[in-house]
Amino acid sequence: MSNGLTNIAVFASGSGSNFEAIAEEALAGRLPCQVKVLVCDREHAPVKEKAQALGISVFCFRPRDYEQKADFEAEIVRMLQEADVELIALAGYMRLVGSTLLKAYEGRIMNIHPSLLPAFPGKDAVEQAMEANVKVTGVTVHLVDEGMDTGPIIEQEVVRIQTTDDAQSLQKKIQQIEHRLYPAVIQQFVEGEI
């Protein structure tokens, strides 16, 4: 943090709109962070191109090249420590974090999830909310523990589901909130307000 910026790593497996929102805020100087690296577990994930376009390093690994989770996580931890990464933000990383990463970054891994946890954890949270016919859902940012979307909740924001909504329109509303909320929570976290 020698330049006054907190070094962060973003982990993502997919399209990377949250990665992009965080990285753009940081690059514009609105977030006191430097996104040192994108960690990606999928060779062809679109998020990789987003990182390259923004000049952010990519650490891409193939889980099947390792015998077990502890092996690739140990390599990730070594790389993160070399890059002086202090905080990890999961943004659509489709994998449970294991004990190797959790121990190395205890209390310093956060995740964003497209529902009001503890409702609708896991995959397809937006579709789950539609199918349950609930009137509200939302976005949660939480600290990561060994469970699936179970760690302590940091912040939540509500989205009302209109009768005209389908999964696609609801997803769009949720993502708009995510792109504002995640950088804001990261900022509060690095400024010690959380």
Residues forming the site for ligand GRF (CB under 6 A): 12, 14-19, 91-92, 112-114, 175, 178
Active site residue 113: yes
85 or 174: whose CB is closer to ligand GRF?
Answer: 174
118 cis-preceded (ω within 30 degrees of 0): yes
Q: How far is the CB of 45 from ligand GRF (least distance, A)?
A: 8
Q: Where do the DSSP E strands lie in 33-162?
A: 33-40, 57-60, 87-90, 109-113, 136-143, 153-160
Contact 76, 59 (CB under 8 A): yes
Annotated catalytic residue: which of 44, 113, 142, 179?
A: 113
70 or 94: whose CB is closer to ligand GRF?
Answer: 94
Q: How far is the CB of 32 from ligand GRF (least distance, A)?
A: 21
Q: How far is the CB of 175 from ligand GRF (least distance, A)?
A: 6
Which residue number has the CB closest to ligand GRF?
92
1 or 94: whose CB is closer to ligand GRF?
Answer: 94
Q: How far is CA 85 from CA 69, 100, 115, 122, in A?
A: 20, 15, 28, 27
Cα dihedral sign, 39-23-51-47: positive
Instruction: Give the active site residues.
Output: 113
